[in-house]
């Protein structure tokens, strides 16, 4: 799978070539985890579960087969000189933490200051989805979204804010339900000028 090898350097910084196991190997692994949880993979209700889980994983982790550069490649210049903030806020996403493989549920707010070119608005949501559908830390995901837009669009600045609830905090360990984690990454004019950061935050919060 060329796509995987191509995409992995963004997530795994090593020279390892990662082979994807067969469907059967994946299903066998799910059976082991079912037994590890204390259940019987042979009981009727669980017979098709390994196949369903393997299929669900391909969807939940589809981001490994998608390259943000493909999404961000097309830009538009016909913007009548518009050069102020473009903000897409409240982009919902579902990810999984790389430490426990349980869900991270949240919203991303992504803004940029155009430099003559703009992105189709739906592309920003697609980029959030691509990075969300991988094993993540919230910090890394925030930076990856900002860097992908920065690299492809070369805007005057990018601002990304993610607010999310981590099920590994809510369901296990400290069991702090409702606690949300906020992360931000600023590049360019947003990084250099605190007033631009305030403007971004104000636009994110205004209702």
Tell me the closest approach of the beta carbon of residue 160 to Zn ion, in angstroms.
Answer: 21
146 alpha carbon, distance to own chain's centre? 11
In whole angstroms, give the CA distance from residue 67 to residue 59.
15
- Tell me which residue has its CB nearest to Zn ion: 168
**Contact set for Zn ion, span 71-100 (CB under 5 A):** 97, 99-100
3-state secondary structure (DSSP) of residue 98: coil
When the beta carbons of 62 and 167 are compared against Zn ion, the nearer one is: 167
When the beta carbons of 86 and 170 are compared against Zn ion, the nearer one is: 170
C-beta separation of 158 from 149 below 8 A: yes
- Give residue 23's region: left, alpha or beta (phi > 0; psi -120 to 50): alpha
Site for Zn ion (CB under 5 A): which residue of 26, 143, 168, 201? 168
Kindly state whether residue 172 participates in binding Zn ion, applying the rule CB under 5 A: no
3-state secondary structure (DSSP) of residue 176: coil
When the beta carbons of 20 and 99 are compared against Zn ion, the nearer one is: 99
Tell me the closest approach of the beta carbon of residue 26 to Zn ion, in angstroms.
Answer: 22
Token pair listed for 145: 């979204």
Q: Which stretch binds Zn ion (CB under 5 A): 52-60, 78-86, 167-175, 183-191?
A: 167-175
Q: How many residues bind Zn ion (CB under 5 A)?
A: 4
- Give residue 197's region: left, alpha or beta (phi > 0; psi -120 to 50): alpha
Strand 135-136 to 86-97 pairing: parallel
Instruction: Catalogue the active-site residues.
Output: 97-100, 138, 166, 168
Tell me the closest approach of the beta carbon of residue 76 to Zn ion, in angstroms.
Answer: 39
When the beta carbons of 32 and 171 are compared against Zn ion, the nearer one is: 171
Binding positions for Zn ion, rule: CB under 5 A: 97, 99-100, 168
């Amino acid at each position: 799978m060329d796509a995987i090898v191509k995409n992995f350097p963004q997530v795994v910084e090593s020279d390892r070539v990662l082979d994807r196991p067969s469907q059967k190997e994946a299903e066998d692994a799910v059976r082991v985890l079912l037994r590890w949880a204390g259940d019987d993979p042979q009981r009727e209700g669980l017979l098709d579960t390994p196949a369903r889980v393997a299929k669900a994983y391909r969807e939940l982790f589809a981001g490994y087969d998608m390259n943000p550069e493909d999404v961000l490649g097309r830009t538009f210049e016909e913007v009548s000189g518009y050069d102020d903030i473009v903000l897409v806020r409240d982009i919902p996403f579902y990810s999984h933490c790389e430490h426990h493989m349980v869900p991270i549920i949240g919203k991303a707010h992504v803004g940029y200051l155009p430099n003559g070119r703009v992105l189709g608005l739906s592309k920003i949501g697609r980029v959030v989805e691509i990075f969300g559908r991988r094993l993540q830390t919230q910090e890394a995901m925030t930076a990856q979204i900002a860097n992908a837009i920065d690299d492809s669009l070369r805007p005057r600045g990018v601002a990304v804010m993610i607010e999310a609830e981590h099920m590994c905090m809510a369901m296990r360990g400290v069991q702090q339900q409702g606690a949300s984690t906020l992360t931000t990454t600023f590049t360019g004019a947003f990084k250099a000028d605190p007033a631009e950061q305030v403007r971004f935050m104000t636009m994110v919060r205004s209702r």
